[in-house]
């Protein structure tokens, strides 16, 4: 009795996949190590941001392990970060999040980069009940699923747009016409919509509002149209690669305005390096800046200490993305230490109820899962360096007009 070749082939293929499963089950956690999973965009359009996140996580893990690890009850357990590269491709981020949970058996998860990917992957965390800290998700749309396992360290987008709009109204009352160009992606679009709201609330006239597709390389059309609309305030949203392109192509077409705001980009050194003199007087906002002066109960002890440590280790200034990653670790650590156990339910409660004094500011997660407990700084590039304009207690310079 022989098997027909088709059936043989079919059985062979099942055998093949049974083998792959055996391979899968062989990666188990070492005893006494806390595994934290973090899918990162290490290649692709978001690679610069992915690298920043990795640096933040690594620095935190290093600091924690220097002290022996996280205190869980009476023991100290070292921390191990588990990374996978999702190549800036959101579905892959979701797949890898699931792989980290089911295959690598991580204890906790950090979200992938950005609001869009965070929201996508949060469904996985919720399914499996794994507390997940989102270090880079500020749009309230990310949290509208009422998930219990997602905790976002960024304050919502309106906390970025309101201070800037206020600043413009006070210092440049002649500004009347606003042009907005947004990347068609969750966070940049949500942020742009918030800007529209903040501008309109102050009686400004939004004369242009368009979206550009993810991966757009040529913004000439949009810039031409903006030029025709004669705006006083230009707002562009996207990620660092987009912002560099837009700023350069604006100069290609001689597009100028009294106020130009770009988020996310100018707060990063890479933007300043790539655009040179074009960066001057561009305004931006972020959730943290090295000028911050918080003292904290986390492993870093203070903002200054974190900044110095980062500078010594990586030879560059830390930006808000790296800091955000490090504080995600710090917050998780404090929650585990409060809970005294690695049990996911107990840690989840600790995260939900806690008020964490970190080097990033006080972080307390609201009922929807995101923090609204500190003031994000507004920055402007002056003389090739970012200076803080708001909040007043760390203000470094006055607002300048004209880009």
CB-nearer residue toward another protein: 240 or 285: 240
**Candidates 179-187, 258-266, 325-333, 378-386; binding stretch for another protein (CB under 8 A):** 179-187
CB of 52 to another protein, least distance (A): 13
| Contact positions with another protein (CB under 8 A) in 44-103 | 44-45, 47-48, 84-85, 87-91, 94, 98, 102-103
123 binds another protein (CB under 8 A): yes
Here's the x/- map for another protein, 374-393, by CB under 8 A: it reads as --------------------
* Rounded distance between C-alpha atoms, residue 294 and residue 302, angstroms: 6
CB of 245 to another protein, least distance (A): 7
| Contact positions with another protein (CB under 8 A) in 3-42 | 3-14, 16-17, 19-21, 23-24
| Contact positions with another protein (CB under 8 A) in 229-248 | 241, 244-245
Cα–Cα distances in angstroms (integers) from residue 35 to residues 29, 70, 71, 91, 108, in the given order: 7, 12, 14, 23, 7
CB-nearer residue toward another protein: 103 or 166: 103
* Rounded distance between C-alpha atoms, residue 70 and residue 9, angstroms: 50
269 binds another protein (CB under 8 A): no
**Candidates 67-75, 210-218, 285-293, 329-337; binding stretch for another protein (CB under 8 A):** 210-218
Of positions 172, 214, 342, 396, contacts another protein by CB under 8 A: 214
Residue 382, preceding peptide bond in cis (omega within 30° of 0): no
CB-nearer residue toward another protein: 67 or 253: 253
**Candidates 224-232, 317-325, 344-352, 370-378; binding stretch for another protein (CB under 8 A):** 224-232
Report the half-sphere exposure of 105 (CA within 13 A, side-chain side): 9
Of positions 203, 217, 383, 393, contacts another protein by CB under 8 A: 217
194 binds another protein (CB under 8 A): no
280 binds another protein (CB under 8 A): no
| Contact positions with another protein (CB under 8 A) in 326-345 | none
176 binds another protein (CB under 8 A): no
């Amino acid at each position: 009795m022989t098997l027909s070749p088709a059936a043989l082939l079919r059985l062979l293929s099942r055998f093949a996949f049974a083998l792959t499963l055996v391979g899968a089950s062989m990666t188990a956690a070492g005893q006494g190590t806390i595994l934290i999973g973090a899918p990162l965009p290490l290649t692709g359009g978001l690679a610069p941001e992915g690298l920043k996140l990795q640096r933040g996580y690594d620095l935190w893990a290093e600091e924690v392990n220097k002290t022996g690890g996280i205190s869980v009850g009476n023991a100290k357990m070292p921390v191990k970060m588990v990374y996978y590269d999702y190549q800036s491709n959101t579905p892959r981020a979701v797949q890898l999040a699931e792989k980290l949970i089911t295959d690598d058996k991580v204890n906790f998860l950090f979200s992938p980069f950005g609001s869009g990917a965070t929201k996508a992957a949060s469904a996985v965390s919720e399914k499996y009940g794994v507390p997940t800290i989102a270090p880079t998700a500020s749009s309230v749309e990310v949290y509208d699923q009422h998930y219990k396992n997602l905790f976002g360290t960024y304050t919502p987008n309106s906390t970025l747009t309101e201070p800037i709009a206020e600043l413009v109204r006070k210092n440049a009352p002649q500004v009347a016409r606003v042009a907005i160009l947004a990347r068609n992606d969750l966070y940049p679009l949500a942020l742009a919509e918030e800007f529209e709201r903040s501008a309109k609330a102050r009686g400004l006239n939004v004369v242009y509002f368009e979206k550009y597709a993810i991966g757009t390389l040529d913004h000439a059309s949009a810039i031409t149209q903006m030029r025709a609309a004669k705006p006083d305030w230009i707002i562009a949203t996207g990620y660092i690669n987009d912002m560099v392109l837009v700023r350069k192509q604006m100069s290609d077409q001689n597009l100028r305005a009294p106020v130009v705001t770009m988020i996310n980009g100018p707060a990063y050194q890479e933007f300043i390096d790539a655009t040179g003199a074009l960066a001057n007087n561009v305004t931006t906002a972020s959730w943290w800046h090295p000028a911050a002066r918080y003292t904290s109960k986390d492993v870093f002890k203070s903002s200054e200490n974190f900044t110095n440590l980062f500078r010594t280790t990586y030879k560059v200034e830390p930006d808000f993305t790296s800091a955000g990653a490090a504080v995600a670790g710090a917050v998780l650590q404090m929650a585990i230490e409060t809970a005294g156990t690695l049990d996911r339910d107990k840690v989840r409660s600790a995260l939900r109820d806690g008020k964490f004094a970190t080097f990033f500011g006080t972080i307390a997660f609201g009922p929807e899962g995101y923090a609204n407990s500190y003031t994000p700084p507004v920055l402007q590039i002056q003389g090739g360096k970012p200076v803080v304009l708001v909040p007043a207690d760390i203000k470094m310079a006055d607002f300048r007009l004209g880009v």
